[in-house]
Each structure stands twice: as C-alpha cells, then as structure tokens.
Structure 1
Amino acid sequence: MAEQAPPGDPTLLLELIRYPMPFGKYKGRLLRQLPVSYLEWFAQKGFPAGKLGTLLQTLYEIKMNGLEYLLDELEKRR
C-alpha cells in the first residue's frame, strides 16, 4: 500500500493539480485530469508505492466521493 501523508496535509491537494503522470497511457497528463476508470484500475491492481501512490489514491477517493469541486477551487485560485 502507498505511504500515507500526514492527515490534513494541504500540499497533497495542490500536488494533484500540478503533478504529471510519470508513465503509462496518460504519461505527461496532470493527475487531476486522469479518468476515473484509470484510477479504478489502480484501486483493483494496487496503487504504486510512495508519493505517486498516495496522490493517486487520494485522487481516487476525491473522485469517487464527488469532491472534485475542492480541486476546482484550488485551480481557480492558482
């Protein structure tokens, strides 16, 4: 399982709108732009270790719980 970020770490959300996918079909695309189906695949197969896994797992939870508006607000303020 991926490393856990400290609870309430605000930099985690900021990284979701800035961090590019480093490999695979969506290489170079910002994590925020990844489709839910790709995140579901990771959820079934296992998220990568480390920072990337934490970010993908967080994004998956955000999208599955209808909380994308949180990221929308961050992008507007950026």
Structure 2
Amino acid sequence: MDAHLLQLLVTRVMPYGKYKGRLIADLPGHYLNWFAREGFPPGEIGRLLALMHELDHNGLSSLLDPLRKR
C-alpha cells in the first residue's frame, strides 16, 4: 500500500455529491458501500474511495488517525 495514498485520504475532499467538501476519510460507511455496489468513479477519486471503503469495511479507519495530526 502506498503511504502517499493514505495521506491523500485525510487531505482530499469529496468534490461532488451529498458529501461534497467532506474529507474522503470522513465519508460515512454507507456512502462508501454505495460506491462499492454501484461502481467507483474513474481516476484518483475512485481509487481513493475504493481504498477508504476497504479500510472502513475491515475496521482499519483508525490507521489514519496519526496522519490527521500532521
């Protein structure tokens, strides 16, 4: 896993939709699950959403806590 991608989860904001402006790391699980069912968008935002879904689904979201403090 690329550490740079983890840092992006706590710095990039959702560019559109119901949670526009919220950090990717702060998106609710049900929203990430919806993308997993319907398909992640192409490009970087899709890769970040997919990564965040995996972290959230596997109960690993707390791994991002040290990155938030930087």
- TM-score normalised according to structure 1 size: 0.86
**Corresponding residue pairs, total:** 70
Larger radius of gyration: 1
**Unaligned 5+ residue runs, structure 2?**
none
Given residue 38 of structure 1, which amino acid in structure 2 is its aligned partner?
Y
Aligned to 2:3: 10
Bigger relative contact order (CA 8 A; separation at least 6) = 1
> Over aligned residue pairs, what C-alpha RMSD do you find?
0.7
Aligned to 1:69: 62
1:42 to 35, 41, 48: 35
Given residue 35 of structure 1, which amino acid in structure 2 is its aligned partner?
P
Is 1:59 matched with 2:52? yes
What is the CA–CA distance in structure 1 between the aligned matches of 2:32 and 2:62, rounded to whole Å? 18
Given residue 63 of structure 1, which amino acid in structure 2 is its aligned partner?
D
Q: Percent identity?
A: 53
Given residue 20 of structure 1, which amino acid in structure 2 is its aligned partner?
V
What is the CA–CA distance in structure 2 between the aligned matches of 1:65 and 1:73, rounded to whole Å? 18
**Unaligned 5+ residue runs, structure 1?**
1-7
Shift of 1:69: 1.4
What is the CA–CA distance in structure 2 between the aligned matches of 1:19 and 1:54, rounded to whole Å? 12
Is 1:27 matched with 2:20? yes
What is the CA–CA distance in structure 1 between the aligned matches of 2:19 and 2:62, rounded to whole Å? 22
